[in-house]
């Protein structure tokens, strides 16, 4: 009897041993288990990009893609909102269902985010806003924001124009300006429009029209064509990004007019933003675009640094602004001062692709 029960215990122990070995072999060889194990090793980032309207946007998407790679320990889920807020809201809801670790949002316009951001907050997922801002009732609805000071960019462009006109002896009321705006309601549009409008008011410039150009080349061209039909005295075109500027230049040249800084000799001056599109940078070197206020799209590493802080349990700055330069090939103005800060005019650096 004693011998029998001892044998049974030994057999039982052997069974347990074999089973547990079997299991550990299984978890190494079965693909399902391996996948679950490896997914947990990555930080999953859901990025709702607003669209693909410009060269700036493409560079921004690329920066995120090349930063949040598997080699860097990330799994990036990228959703293109195609310029529609509704698509971006759907993307965020999907990220919540997928239980991503972080949500990154580049919002198309500022308002209308409260509900979906509350949903992300309730799910305990940090939301990092990038590029444009959100205008929400409670800033605790997002973790932090990183991007550019768009109003400052606008003020830089307007102040450069002021200095240029003064140096050339062009009277304020002789500046007949049209503004080809970006996507209406986006931070980049709101800030750049404000920067120009306020400076125009201060100096008494003739700001004749503000028309939406959607940050695209096609719309920039179309809007410029109609502005040229409406006004025969335009001498400054303020374009809220490089793509719209390139479109406007097409329209101006097609109408048989010349672009350039010599507005006292009948040229139409083009002012722009970004400094990303190669064609626009070359136009600066040719003085077809007189001035560009830089807007830096390379936010990938900045967002990664924020995620690393959060991972370590640290609190990132709520708002981080990127330092930016000003570009012109015209030698009339060498430096401008805006909000007490000096900015030196430089030539854009053209990086070969
Ligand atoms: O200037 C424009 C883009 O929000 C800063 O959006 C961004 C703007 C950028 O389409 O080219």
Does ligand 1 lie within 6 Å of residue 238's CB atom? no
* Residue whose CB lies within 8 A of the most ligand 1 atoms, among 56, 109, 191, 247, for a mutation test: 56
Q: Whose CA is nearest to atom 8 of ligand 1?
A: 188
- In DSSP terms, 44 is beta-bridged to 75
CA 241–ligand 1 middle distance (angstroms): 7
Among candidate residues 40, 44, 36, the one with its CA nearest the CA of residue 97: 44
pLDDT digit string (tens) for the chain, length 353 residues:
455 555 555 555 444 444 443 343 333 333 333 343 345 689 999 999 999 999 999 999 999 999 999 999 999 999 999 999 999 999 999 999 999 999 999 999 999 999 999 999 999 999 999 999 999 999 999 999 999 999 999 999 999 999 999 999 999 999 999 999 999 999 999 999 999 999 999 999 999 999 999 999 999 999 999 999 999 999 999 999 999 999 999 999 999 999 999 999 999 999 999 999 999 999 999 999 999 999 999 999 999 999 999 999 999 999 999 999 999 999 999 999 999 999 999 998 876 65
Q: Which pTM value belongs to this model?
A: 0.88
- 150-295+325-346 carries CATH number 3.40.50.2300: yes
Ligand 1 contacts CB of residue 55 (under 6 A): no
Q: Helices 114-122 and 85-97 sit at what angle, rounded to 10 degrees? A: 10
CATH superfamily label, 41-148+298-321 = Response regulator (3.40.50.2300)
pLDDT at 28: 37
Q: Which pLDDT value is given to residue 39?
A: 54
Q: Report the pLDDT value the prediction gives residue 348, as an integer from 0 to 100.
A: 87
Q: Which of 61, 63, 106, 241 for mutating ligand 1's site (highest number of atoms within 8 Å of CB)? A: 241
Domain residue spans of the chain:
41-148+298-321, 150-295+325-346
- Taking the CA of residue 297 as reference, the ligand 1 atom at the shortest distance is 5
For ligand 1, is residue 295 a contact (CB within 6 Å)? yes
Q: Which atom of ligand 1 lies at the shortest distance from residue 148's CA?
A: 5
CB of 95 within 6 A of ligand 1: the answer is no
Contact indicator for 345, 336 with CB cutoff of 8 Å: yes
Separation between Cα atoms, residue 105 and residue 144, nearest integer Å: 11
Q: What is residue 7's predicted lDDT score, i.e. its pLDDT? A: 55
How many angstroms separate the alpha carbon of residue 269 from the centre of ligand 1? 21
Q: Which helix (H) or strand (E) holds 104?
A: strand 102-105
Contacts of 305 (CB under 8 A, 6+ apart): none
Q: Which parts of the chain fold into alpha helices (H)?
A: 2-29, 31-39, 55-67, 85-97, 114-122, 150-168, 187-203, 217-230, 242-254, 278-285, 300-311
Asked if the domains at 41-148+298-321 and 150-295+325-346 fall in one CATH topology, the answer is yes
- Evaluate: CB of 176 within 6 angstroms of ligand 1: no
């Amino acid at each position: 009897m004693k011998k029998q029960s001892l044998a049974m215990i030994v057999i039982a122990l052997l069974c347990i041993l074999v089973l547990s070995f079997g299991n550990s072999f299984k978890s190494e060889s079965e693909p399902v288990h391996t996948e679950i194990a490896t997914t947990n090793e990555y930080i999953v980032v859901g990025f709702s990009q607003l669209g693909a309207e410009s060269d700036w946007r493409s560079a921004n998407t690329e920066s995120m893609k090349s930063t949040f790679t598997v080699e860097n320990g990330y799994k990036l889920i990228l959703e293109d909102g195609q310029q529609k807020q509704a698509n971006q809201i759907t993307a965020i809801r999907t990220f919540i269902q997928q239980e991503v670790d972080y949500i990154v949002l580049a919002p198309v316009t500022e308002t209308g985010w409260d509900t979906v951001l509350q949903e992300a907050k309730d799910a305990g997922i940090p939301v990092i806003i990038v590029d444009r801002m959100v205008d929400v009732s409670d800033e605790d609805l997002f973790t932090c924001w990183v991007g550019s000071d768009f109003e400052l960019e606008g003020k830089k462009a307007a102040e450069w124009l002021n200095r240029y006109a003064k140096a050339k002896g062009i009277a304020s009321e002789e500046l007949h300006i049209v503004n080809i705006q970006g996507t209406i309601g986006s931070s980049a549009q709101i800030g750049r429009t404000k920067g120009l409008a306020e400076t125009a008011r201060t100096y008494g410039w003739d700001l004749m029209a503000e028309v939406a150009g959607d940050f695209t080349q096609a719309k920039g061209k179309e809007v410029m064509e109609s502005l040229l039909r409406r006004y025969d005295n335009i001498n400054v075109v303020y374009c809220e990004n490089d793509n719209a500027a390139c479109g406007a230049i097409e329209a101006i040249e097609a109408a048989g007019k010349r672009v350039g800084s010599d507005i006292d000799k009948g040229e139409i001056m083009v002012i722009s933003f970004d400094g990303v599109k190669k064609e626009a940078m070359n136009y600066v070197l040719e003085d077809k675009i007189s001035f560009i206020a830089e807007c830096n799209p390379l936010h990938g590493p900045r967002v990664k640094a924020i995620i690393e802080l959060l991972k370590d349990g640290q609190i990132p700055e709520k708002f981080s602004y990127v330092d930016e330069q000003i570009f012109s090939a015209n030698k009339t103005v060498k430096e401008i001062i805006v909000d007490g800060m000096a900015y030196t005019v430089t030539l854009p650096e053209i990086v070969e692709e």
